[in-house]
Amino acid sequence: MGIWTNIRGTIYCSPAGATPEEQEYILKTVLRHLPKVNPYKTRRDNMFETYMNRIDQPQGFRSWDEFGNDSNLTDYDDYCYKAFGCDYSFVITLYGMYRSDNQSDVLKRFEKWLCRFSKRVLVDYLSIDIWESCGESNNKISISKWEAYHDMYDFETNWIDKIRPAYSFNR
Using only the alpha carbons of the chain, give its radius of gyration. Answer: 19
Is the sign of the CA dihedral 37, 40, 45, 50 positive or negative? positive
Q: Are the CB atoms for 129 and 8 separated by under 8 Å?
A: yes
Going residue by residue through the chain (171 aa), what tens digit of pLDDT does each one get?
Answer: 578 888 999 999 988 877 788 888 889 999 999 888 877 665 666 788 899 998 865 555 555 555 556 655 554 443 334 444 446 789 999 998 888 778 888 889 999 999 999 998 989 899 999 988 876 667 888 998 888 988 888 776 666 666 555 544 554
3 state SS of 162 = helix
